[in-house]
Amino acid sequence: MKDLTLIEFYKQFPNEQACIDYLIELRWGKTPICTNCGSVRAYVCKTRPICKCYDCKAQFSVKIGTIFEESRLPLQKWFLAVYLLTSLKKGVSSVTLSKYLGITQKSAWFMLQRIRHAMKQGSFDKPLEGIVEIDETYISGVHSKEFKNDKKEIIFGAVERGGRTKLKHVKSSGVRVLVPEITNSISPDATIYSDTWGAYRNLTKIGYTHESVNHGKLEYARGSIHTNTIEGGVWDHLKLGLKAIYMGVSPKHLEKYCDEFSFRYNSRGLKDGERFQSWFKDISGKRLTYEKLIG
């Protein structure tokens, strides 16, 4: 399943049972494992989307322990939402998704937030290595339903040359905030390129190899030393998506949109089908309740 078109999506997932079978195979292989006693002697009911255990007689849903748990929406709608969010380069809004799925905008918004929650995969824990460009950017026009937020929100970003990126919504662009973000996300052996922002001034003192370019003096590259990858390849894509698709992002949820764009950038070399499969690698234990989301 490499280059997955919309027509091929419906061929592979024509009904709910096909989605159930796909999820079972991803989680357990050909035979489901009982979530109650751990027995491999479980089977899928033919009349209902649940599994039963021969040994302890327990019934359990294939959704249990995943982001789909306790959702009343069919898996086929969930799968289509995942496919659209991972395949469309700028993402998909909750208003558009609600029309595609025939659900309310509120339900579509909650679905997308749960999908983004699962995008923060284990690969985020691995420090960035090699040559790493860092920068901070300011996002304007972020607001909630209750009020317009005139304060610009700050996002810190780091990207490996030819590799992964990490984006983080931060409270400040000062040294006390950004330096811990750098040490938490970048390997001590990495070479860091940045501009001359004051928060980056003492990176060599804490052990990093660090070079910078002075944008104030119109210096944007000095040989291989530049921040063009993050400024062009990362920030431009993020800001375009937030402006064109996600109008009305709350500061509270901005971090999840950072996770979405990081996931999309980090899987840019994959085909749509491969990216769809990649999202499913880390769905266990990632359920996000509505109360926790808005609380």
Segments making up each domain of the chain, as ranges: 124-270
Distance CA 51, CA 46 (A): 9
Please give the full DSSP string across the chain, using - where no structure is assigned. --S--HHHHHHH-SSHHHHHHHHHHHHHTTS---TTT--S-EEE-SSSSEEEETTT--EEETTTTBTTTT--S-HHHHHHHHHHHHHSTT---HHHHHHHHTS-HHHHHHHHHHHHHHHS-GGGGSPB-SEEEEEEEEE-S-B-SS-B--SPEEEEEEEETTS-EEEEEES--SHHHHHHHHHHHB-TT-EEEE---GGGTTGGGGT-EEEE--GGGT--EETTEE-HIIIIIIIHHHHHHHHHT-TT--GGGHHHHHHHHHHHHHTTTS-HHHHHHHHGGG-BT----HHHHH-
Q: What is the pLDDT along the chain (295 residues), one digit of tens a residue?
A: 678 999 999 999 999 989 988 998 888 887 888 888 988 888 888 767 788 999 999 888 888 888 898 888 999 999 999 999 999 999 999 999 999 999 999 999 999 999 998 888 555 578 999 999 999 999 875 554 434 455 789 999 999 999 999 999 999 999 999 999 999 999 999 999 999 999 999 999 999 999 999 999 999 999 999 999 999 989 999 999 998 898 778 898 999 999 999 999 999 999 999 999 999 987 876 567 777 777 7
Residues in Cβ contact with 48 at an 8 Å cutoff, skipping those fewer than 6 apart: none
The model carries a pTM of 0.88
- With H, G, I as helix, E, B as strand and everything else as coil, classify residue 201: coil
Options 3.40.920.10, 1.10.3720.10, 1.10.287.130, 3.30.420.10; CATH for 124-270 is 3.30.420.10
What six digits make up the tokens of 143?
């607001």
Instruction: Decide: residue 264, CB within 10 A, 0-12 exposed, 13-18 middle, 19+ buried.
Output: buried
Distance CA 114, CA 211 (A): 39
What are the angstrom distances between the C-alpha of 74 and each of 59, 70, 268, 289?
Answer: 19, 11, 29, 17
What six digits make up the tokens of 36?
């109650």
What six digits make up the tokens of 61?
């849903």
